[in-house]
Structure 1
């Protein structure tokens, strides 16, 4: 059994911070569960370009408000209780509204190793 707290993970190398977000990676590839689990904060008033070409992701909004804009497609509002699933490696922009920092629970398949950040194309590398 694996038992971890958000505070333990936040105060370790499992916390990764970028310009527009913070990700606390609570479950990683080395845990051998077949997926990874993160609590990610999208900083208020920011926009992040993301294109997970090597991963599928499911995201549940726990707090805050914003939107996800699919490149070449629709824009969807995000608020607490919203789940979105990037089942087609959807390229998108994730925005948190001003004053509305978003906290999200995220699941990745395949799992990430923990140190990944988005490259210039919004991609996480695939690590075998």
Structure 2
């Protein structure tokens, strides 16, 4: 059984910071669950272009407001508490924080813990994750 406290994890190497967001990675690849689980804060006013070419992600909004734009279709969806979205086709997207948003995120395959978005908006895939 794995038990972690969000407050404690915020004060550890599991708390990762990047431009426009920060994320507490509560479950990582090393936990051997087959997915990773994060509590991510999207900063107010952030406009994040992302494209998870190597990972699938589902996201649930706990608090705050913003939007997500599907770059393939131009369609924009409002995000508010209670809204979930899943990037089931490695969807290239733009996430915008109207206010600070707190999100619960799940990644498959799991991330290792230190990833930040590359120039293409993606997390790199570890060589051993290809198998």
TM-score range, shorter chain: over 0.9
Helix, strand or coil for the counterpart of 1:16? Answer: strand
CA displacement 1:27-46 (0-9 Å, x = unmatched): 00000000000000000011
What is the TM-score normalised by the length of structure 2? 0.95
Cα deviation, residue 8, structure 1 = 1.2
Give unmatched runs, 5+ long, in structure 1.
Answer: none
CA displacement 1:88-116 (0-9 Å, x = unmatched): 0000000001xx10000000000000000
2:28 corresponds to 1:28:
yes
| Superposition CA RMSD, Å | 0.5
The separation in 1 between residues aligned to 2:63 and 2:24, in whole angstroms, is 16
Give unmatched runs, 5+ long, in structure 2.
Answer: none
The separation in 1 between residues aligned to 2:90 and 2:124, in whole angstroms, is 13
The separation in 2 between residues aligned to 1:72 and 1:5, in whole angstroms, is 38
Cα deviation, residue 72, structure 1 = 2.8
2:51 corresponds to 1:51:
yes
Aligned to 2:116: 117
Cα deviation, residue 17, structure 1 = 0.5
Runs of 4+ aligned structure 1 residues displaced above 4 Å come to none
